[in-house]
Amino acid sequence: MKLSFRDVSKTFRSLRGAVPAVRGVDFSVEDGELFVLLGPSGCGKSTILNLAAGLERPTSGEIRFDGEIVASLEGRVFVPPGERNVAMVFQGYALYPHLNVRENIAFPLRVAGEAREEIDRSVVRTASMLGIEDLLRSRPSELSGGQRQRVAIARALVRKPRLFLLDEPLSNLDAALRTATRAELRRLQRSLEVTTLYVTHDQTEAMTLGDRIALLRDGRILQTGTPRDLYEKPQTPFAASFIGPYTMNLLKTDLEEEGGVCSIRIGTERLPLPPDRASGARLLGSRKILFGIRPEHARAHPDSPDPGLRGIVTAVEHLGRETLVTADLGGASLRAIAGEGTLKEGDVARIAIPVDSIHVFPD
Amino acid sequence: MGEDRSFRDLLRGYSFIAPLVAILLAFVFVPVVGTCIDSLYREVTFLPRAFIGLGNYQSLASDPGFRQSLRFTVLFVLASVPLELVLGLSFALLLHRPSPARGALRACVLIPWAVPAAVSGKVFELICNFQYGLANYLVQRIGLTDGPVNWLGSTGGAFFALVAGDVWKTAPFVAILFLAGLSAIPEDLYRQAAVDRAGPVQRFARITLPLLRPVFVVALLFRTIDALRVFDLVFVLTRGGPGGSTTSLSLYGYDAFTGGDFGYGSAVSVVLFLIAFTLSVAYVRIGRFGRELS
Amino acid sequence: MNGERRIGMLHLAGAVAMTIFCLGPIVYMALTAMSHRPDFLAPGAGFAFTAAHFLEVLRTESLHFPEYFRNSLVVSGFSAAFSVSVAAPAAYAVTRLAIPGRVAVLFAVLAVSMFPQVSLVSYLFKLMSAMGWINTYAALVLPYTAWILPLSLWILTSYFSRVPRDIDRAALVDGCGPLEALWKVIVPVAAPGIFSTALLAFIFAFNELLFALMLTTDHRARTIPAGIALFEGLHGETPWGAVMAAATLTVVPVVALTLVFQRRIIQGLTRGAVKE
Amino acid sequence: MRSRAFSLALCAVSAFLACVAATPPSRAGTVTFAVGGAPAEFAYWERVVRKFEGKTGIRVELLRQPTDTGLRRQGLTVPLQARISSPDVFLMDVAWLAQFAASGWLEPLSPHLGKEGCAGKEAFFLRMIDTVDTYEGGVVALPVYVDGGLLYYRKDLLGKYGLPGPPRTWDELLRYSETVQRGERRSRPGFYAFAWQGAQYEGLVCDFLEFAGPTGGFRVENGEVTVDTPQNRKALRFMRDLIGKYGVSPPNTYTEMREEEVRSFFQEGYALFERNWPYAWPLHEGRDSPVRGKTGIAALPGWSQGEGAACLGGWHAGISRFSDAKPESVKFLCYLTSYETQRDLALHLGWNPGRRDVYAAPELLAKNPHLPALRAVFENARPRPLLPYYSRLSEILQRHLSAALAGTSTPEEALSAAGREMQAVVTRYR
């Protein structure tokens, strides 16, 4: 099923006045695609999920399932959640505490009024798919976080929904379980080929799970694209710093031009720009620009005459596979992965910056 | 479900509340309004109903019987409510302390609250009986007085018996309120105080009391309004007591109704209603209950 | 460290005193009910067990005690059931459906619970007389239901607001309508709360006296508190043995409820009056 | 979903209707007769009712009321104000008959008097029928039994202390009481010479009127109340001193002493004199009564000889205007006031019949020699003021009398305060 949002907004009215949660959002999710809504808390991603589920009504704009309008205030159309055949996994799993696992999974089928044996077969099939067939008689309160999460997923998938909605399903799990479940969830979604809308604030989840990602902030979509697009071509400083294992270095710099060669000044150091980056910078039209480089792309070496930026090491962090070095370049600090040779605080370090991984943004 | 603007949803929302509002309107609001209107009429069984405006209220003002019951009711509130709060607090402290018998203790403390006031009224009437009541037995056994005390015979004795009966029944209820307040105080505050080597008294004064203030205010107002409208205990234990000296406002109104003077009784109950209503508005605002709902 | 031991002793003494304070009158009531002479405390009188008073109270047809007992159970039962079944949807609407004015409804209802009964009873009397309902169960059940509605709504509201919002959203997504969600998920989940509320409603209705005195005039609908308040033995002078026997029988159901459901009742009471 | 909401509403309504219908109905054509709770009274009425059912086949149900007159009155005013058919026939204290009549609650009886088995007016005490039982020209109630305050005394104790006979004045009563009490206290510490009704209820007003005598009491003429009179003050001071100063009456006189408490106090031998209604006589003469054969009856003393005043009490029967079994009720009322029933009433309960002719019944004279003397008392016993709002005035008087006895106010303060309050009530009900 194809899901599409066209200029959808949602404003909550409460005693303290109107709070716009979603402002004119446009996106669409292809059939079987896993589309991630990524953004900090309060950016409206959960509201969009609720709008898709029909738990909230849009204040303006249209929501379509396979081209057919399911929610539009102007068009006076609203299909209630129960009739949209969507399935949802809530952050707190929302299992029915008064029912055991079997009854929890069977609940949507019983409400739909399916035949007894049919329900039992589907429940057992879905339970075994998630490896929880031996928990059917226990109560939610007796299960671990991971088990409860699997029951929630089973309850969602048992009735083969045309749209699968997940609201930060992994956030309550501990780190180890999270990575394992992430992989399994991906495999499950691929095998069922169900259109999925996945909400998270964790950029690692977004990068590993999403076919495509929409980055949100203050109710608006900043950028949509494949994980690679967002990583390599962030269109805004916010996108740049939000995506990636480490926060991107963003330094205020000045653009200087001498004889057709553009270069940028960082603190006391100067860095010549290659032609394509230079033209991009020139387009920005202002002298002050933001220079961005991901720590994992830069390398910090002990001082040597080779080209690169010079800085005094202020901190060395050993993170297992990599060591992260923070150096002060006359006022602005920059983080990079340590290259060969050891560096300790106070040393002078040479930071090599591969020219093709430079990003430039207007200040 | 979040904000539902469509008319049908509002209708469904209000249809959920409609039965409650309907019943409250029919059996609480309408009667109160009706009583207020009746209080403006001379309505006696042996005379035609006639509008006399504030006639009933003027008679009330000059009626020593009404003044006596007003005085009694206020004195009763001033005597029983503080006593209930102090006793209730000490019970709560006893109940809050972890001990093997805590469950049983809590159950037995609840019993007085669960017993109907009419029944406890009769029991206290027996306790205060002049010839063979328990009170006289204990009082003489301890040697406080030489002969039997005529409890229900004197205004003071009857007043004391009523306060005792009311405190016996509601101190446990107040204890439950304080218990809730106590269990809401985070444990680590006490652990922190213990680290600062604060003794039990300081812990009580600096942590328990201040944090119980909101519960204290709620219990105080809740009990004051309840004690103002006392009827069951007074009707059964002293039936208005010697010389009508322990007739509560509610009983005074009731006697007027059954005596066949609805207008006068309505006027008495309107006065009581106004006192209780102003206090309850204070109760609702001070209680600040709406906080976590909106 | 004798400070702590001293506190321990103090607590023990306090607990014993509290138990005597609370149970003393009840024990004295039961003893008088079982003693052949009401003045068993007087010197030389002595205590001799007898069940005569209980038999007299239950058997004497003119005392109508069994009928009062039945009326009390029926009236309190109906009132508790009605008030809870009316308060539950209202509590659901107040906590779940964001309809405007819901907080105002709550405040108004709480203020209502503060009204003195005497300012309602005379008009109710005229209303019930006009409807011809005096001496029927309706004369008590309806005012009692209205009287305990504010408390029921208040306790249920605090219980419902503790049921996580996601649960009924899950029910909606799973295909239920709002009423179905209330019936199939919210009510079962909040069942302990609903039970506490019904318990408290029952006890409040069981204790009421003023309405019973004015709105019923004979044994066909009159409840126990009114029966006991007007209790007169066959010998004119108050026969304390029989009165205490009637009192003891009356206390049995409420004490039983309290002992068995003590935790539920305490939860209900604290929810009803205090916000954690 | 629509059907579910509808079914919910349906079951709520049906539950409610069930609860209305569930109340046990009262069978039509049955007469409900409300009676008091004095000891042998209830058993006697059951016999009368069985006999009546035997003779007429009409079913009569007895509704037992508490003995406290205030509670009995409320037990009747509430159903009557609610226009409820039950009770059909009820006994009214002579004090509140005026209110019941003026409120239009009583079925007119004049058309039935003297026809098919009903006694005519002349069978009763005429002065009483015309003043107490008549409202706007029609008879609305019939006296079932008549009461007047009497003095019971212990013949043996008077003999033991060489006292000639029952006291004729209050001073004589006081002297006798003090001498006998001093003697008896040695063997019985709880002995108090004179027991009378002092609790705060209608009975206290009756006792007060008797202490005040024929010239005392209170009157209401064209809107003016007179109660604060020297005679009343003297009486009230005397009542208070009997308890306080002289200590010849028990301390709980003004808290617990009502008819039954006084009777058992005297019957257990704790007292020399007792003021009570005639009903106490057969109980004092009962098989296991400690004062059997030692009790005498006399007219109440006065401030001077022969000036005693018996407070007219007694209970009159009337039929509710809202009764749904009026023909049967009339038959029952006439049976109640028939010669046989009235005679049995005097025989079994020792109550004085409302019919004058029964006083000459031979079998009664044998059992109760002083009956003719009683009849004379009733011929001119003084009724309390006949006012529809009498009970309001009486409540005020009760409160102040009780306050005076309890010492919370002096007799003078009590009577003047009572006068002011009663005047306010009278002006309000003009």
Residues of D in contact with B65 (CB under 8 A): 395-396, 399, 421
Residue of A14, A46, A57, A73 best to disrupt the B interface, most CBs of B under 10 A = A57
Tell me what the mean pLDDT of segment A233-249 comes to. Answer: 86
DSSP state of A42: T
pLDDT at residue C155 tops 80: yes
Q: Residue C116 has which token pair?
A: 């003195």
CATH superfamily of this structure's domain A249-362: Nucleic acid-binding proteins (2.40.50.140)
What pairing do the DSSP bridges indicate for beta strands A322-329 and A332-338?
antiparallel
pLDDT at residue C273 tops 70: no
Amino acid at C147: W
Using CB atoms, pick whichever of B3, B6, B294 lies closest to residue A15.
Answer: B294
Domain of B102 in residue numbering reads as 75-247+270-287
DSSP state of B242: G
The answer, for C176 touching chain A at a CB cutoff of 8 Å, is yes
- B12: in domain: no
Q: What are the pLDDT digits (tens) for D345-355?
A: 888 877 788 88
CB contact under 8 A, D4 and C179: yes
Report the distance separating Cα D425 and Cα D429, nearest Å. 6
Domain ranges of chain C: 1-50, 65-273
Are the CB atoms for B233 and B165 separated by under 8 Å?
yes
Residue D107, pLDDT score: 93
Tell me what the mean pLDDT of segment D415-424 comes to. Answer: 91
Residue A289, pLDDT score: 78
Residues B227, B231, B236, CA angle at the centre, nearest 5°?
125
Confidence of residue D39 (pLDDT cuts 50, 70, 90): low
Q: What are the pLDDT digits (tens) for D254-292?
A: 988 988 889 999 999 999 999 998 878 888 888 889 999
Report the distance separating Cα A180 and Cα A184, nearest Å. 6
pLDDT at residue C274 tops 60: no
Confidence of residue D417 (pLDDT cuts 50, 70, 90): very high
Q: How far is residue A146 from each of residues A130, A172, A177, C143, C165, measured CA to CA in Å? A: 11, 9, 7, 51, 21
Q: What CATH number is attached to the domain comprising B175? A: 1.10.3720.10
- The H-assigned helical ranges of D103-249 are 126-131, 155-160, 170-187, 202-212, 230-243
CB contact under 8 A, A50 and B2: yes
Query: With a CB-CB cutoff of 8 Å, which residues 190-229 of chain B face chain C?
Result: 199-200, 215, 218-219, 222, 225, 228-229
Residues of B in contact with A78 (CB under 8 A): 6
Residue D354, pLDDT score: 86
Mean pLDDT of chain D: 86
Chain B closest CA to C234's CA: distance in Å? 17
For B55-83, give the secondary structure using H, E and C: HHHHHHHCCHHHHHHHHHHHHHHHHHHHH
Confidence of residue A283 (pLDDT cuts 50, 70, 90): low
Report the distance separating Cα B62 and Cα B68, nearest Å. 11
Residue D1, pLDDT score: 43
| pLDDT tens digit at each of 294 positions of chain B | 344 456 777 787 788 889 999 999 999 999 999 999 999 999 988 888 999 989 899 989 988 789 999 999 999 999 999 999 999 999 998 888 888 888 888 888 999 999 999 999 999 998 988 877 888 888 888 888 877 887 887 888 899 999 999 999 999 889 988 988 888 888 888 888 888 887 778 888 888 888 888 888 888 888 998 999 999 999 999 888 776 789 999 999 998 998 888 999 999 999 999 998 888 777 777 765 544 443
pLDDT at residue A355 tops 70: yes
Residue B239, pLDDT score: 84
Residue B165, pLDDT score: 94
Higher pLDDT residue, B161 or C37? B161
Residue B294, pLDDT score: 38
The tally of domains found in chain B comes to 1
Residue D418, pLDDT score: 93
pLDDT > 70: percent of chain D: 93
Q: Among A339, A361, A358, which residue's Cα sits nearest to residue A350?
A: A339
Residue A83, pLDDT score: 86
Domain ranges of chain A: 3-242, 249-362
Burial C131-153 (b: 16+ CB within 10 A, else e): eebbbbbbbbbbbbbbbbbbbbb
Residue B292, pLDDT score: 41
CB contact under 8 A, A78 and B6: yes
Q: What are the pLDDT digits (tens) for D55-90?
A: 989 889 888 887 777 788 888 999 999 888 889 999
The answer, for C24 touching chain A at a CB cutoff of 8 Å, is no
- B279: in domain: yes
Residues B43, B49, B55, CA angle at the centre, nearest 5°?
60
Confidence of residue D20 (pLDDT cuts 50, 70, 90): low
Higher pLDDT residue, C269 or C15? C15
Q: What is the pTM of this model?
A: 0.81
Which of D13-22, D253-262, D289-298 comes out lowest in average pLDDT? D13-22
pLDDT at residue A159 tops 50: yes
- The H-assigned helical ranges of C113-223 are 118-131, 137-160, 165-173, 178-181, 187-189, 191-207, 210-215
Residue B39, pLDDT score: 93
Tell me what the mean pLDDT of segment A251-275 comes to. Answer: 74
CB contact under 8 A, C82 and D15: yes
Burial class of residue D43 (count of CB atoms within 10 Å of its CB; 0-12, 13-18, 19+): exposed
Residue B197, pLDDT score: 80
Tell me what the mean pLDDT of segment D204-217 comes to. Answer: 90
Chain D closest CA to B255's CA: distance in Å? 9
Residue A284, pLDDT score: 62
What pairing do the DSSP bridges indicate for beta strands A332-338 and B41-42?
unpaired
Query: With a CB-CB cutoff of 8 Å, which residues 9-48 of chain B face chain C?
Result: 9-10, 12-14, 16-17, 19-21, 23-24, 26-32, 34-35, 38
Q: What are the pLDDT digits (tens) for D151-169?
A: 999 999 999 999 988 899 9
Report the distance separating Cα C188 and Cα A89, nearest Å. 21
Residues of B in contact with A56 (CB under 8 A): 1-3
Q: Among A355, A250, A274, A353, which residue's Cα sits nearest to residue A309?
A: A353
Tally C-beta pairs within 8 A across A and B: 17
Class of domain A3-242: alpha beta
pLDDT > 90: percent of chain C: 34
CB contact under 8 A, B111 and C255: yes
Amino acid at B108: C
Q: How many beta carbons lie within 10 A of that of residue C52, not counting itself?
A: 13
- B107: in domain: yes
Architecture of domain C65-273: Orthogonal Bundle (1.10)
CB contact under 8 A, C179 and D5: yes
Residue A146 makes CB contacts below 8 A (sequence gap 6+) with A173, A177, A181
pLDDT at residue D22 tops 70: no
Burial D51-80 (b: 16+ CB within 10 A, else e): ebeeeeebebbbbbbbbbbbbbbbbbbbbb
Using CB atoms, pick whichever of B2, B6, B294 lies closest to residue A56.
Answer: B2
Higher pLDDT residue, A361 or D420? D420
Q: What are the pLDDT digits (tens) for C101-126?
A: 777 787 788 778 888 999 999 999 99
Interface residues of B toward D, Cβ cutoff 8 Å, are 15, 19, 42, 44-47, 55, 59, 62-65, 130, 150, 152-155, 240, 242-245, 255, 258-261
Higher pLDDT residue, D233 or C239? D233
Strands in D312-319's sheet, in edge-to-edge order, are D60-64, D31-35, D89-93, D312-319, D142-148, D352-353
Tell me what the mean pLDDT of segment A175-179 comes to. Answer: 85
Residues of A in contact with B3 (CB under 8 A): 12-13, 56-57
Tell me what the mean pLDDT of segment A154-160 comes to. Answer: 88
pLDDT at residue C233 tops 50: no
